[in-house]
Copies of this chain bind each other. A is one copy, B any other.
């Protein structure tokens, strides 16, 4: 931490700050500016509170954190990328490695026929993971809330028939165990990114986690939430950019695509893009998926439905099967460039 004193602070005022720093368990290295004293502080502890507490002192101009507030998820902690390994009926799947991972499926599990048809189609088109919600976070209490455990059972059936791994959302710490019994990956929705009770429970799960960025969460807050899960025992976390909330309303959210290379610089965890929620509009999904591949995402998670116009949720942003297949075909040369670049990086490292 660096503490900058107000202009012309006197000795007693400076000493009072230093004393407070020591009380909080940190050590001092001081420097005298010409007009303005600056104090360097080192040590470990509840830095957030320490900064707030020091800034609250009237003689302090500014207190700034220098080192990152997270540890386990940082690139400084581990330089090589985390590769998450999942056993599927079709063999092992690696996320964060040399394969671009396609996760696809409907927003909600609606019926046996709907989920099995979709699973079969997306598997054929190159997906390795099937998405589908059994517990649905809906803004309105009057909207469809999901098939719950019955939906989980249908996902398990789809897994068995197609060999796809299953990703599905868990909304409450109460459900972590149950959902973990059926799913290969637990998805945490944007609105639960800072549900700290849930994050702690996820730390005790044996399942990998896909953690979506909150609607108005900074990249650092996303990393702090991942740190919660890792610090509580579960190192298998992947992050997901799904668009943030801004003043722009033409799209459902604003995709912060640059968050992907930024996260690669800051953390070793895999980064997934959700082009469906990021845009909210089917016609924009293929172009954004291409951009996600080009910018270096480790995978995408997107919505596919056999009949989007009849979907109980998110129909407007779901591709139908034909659109999904066309997109996958169009994507192939970009995926080859992606793969070549991964291999090249591996050779250089």
Contact = CB atoms under 8 A, between A and B. Distances in A.
A254 B244 contact: yes
A172 B197 contact: yes
Interface string A288-302: 101111111000000
Contacts of A125: none
A249 B67 contact: no
Contact of A284 (B198, B261, B279): B261
A250 B267 CA distance: 14
A58 to B, nearest CB: 9
Give the one of A23, A30, A61, A143 with max B CB within 10 A. Answer: A143
A312 B36 contact: no
Interface string A4-41: 10010000000000001001000001111111101010
Contacts of A246: 244, 246-247, 254, 256
A42 interface: yes
A56 interface: yes
Contact of A137 (B31, B194, B247): B194
A341 to B, nearest CB: 8
A308 B292 CA distance: 28
A179 B308 CA distance: 43
A195 interface: yes
Contacts of A310: 23, 53
Interface string A161-197: 0000000000111110000000000000001101111
A247 B250 contact: no
A98 B347 CA distance: 35
Contacts of A284: 258, 261-262
Main secondary structure on chain A at its contact with chain B?
A: mixed
A46 B191 contact: no
A69 B34 CA distance: 18
B309 A57 contact: yes
Contact of A139 (B48, B292, B317): B48
A144 B49 contact: yes
Count of this chain's copies in the oligomeric assembly? 4
Interface stretch (A78-86, A113-121, A224-232): A224-232
A144 B46 contact: yes
Contacts of A196: 137-138, 171, 191
A92 B130 CA distance: 50
Most buried by B among A2, A42, A291: A291
Interface string A199-235: 0100000000000001110111100100110011000
A255 interface: yes
B231 A141 contact: yes
A88 interface: no
A96 to B, nearest CB: 17
Contact of A46 (B38, B49, B312): B312
A111 interface: no
Contacts of A34: 42
B257 A288 contact: yes
14 contacts: A4-B66, A56-B315, A62-B64, A141-B232, A173-B173, A174-B174, A175-B197, A214-B216, A219-B250, A244-B246, A255-B258, A257-B288, A258-B278, A333-B337
Given A139-B224, A220-B250, A244-B247, 6 more contacts: A20-B309, A34-B42, A247-B247, A265-B283, A287-B294, A294-B295
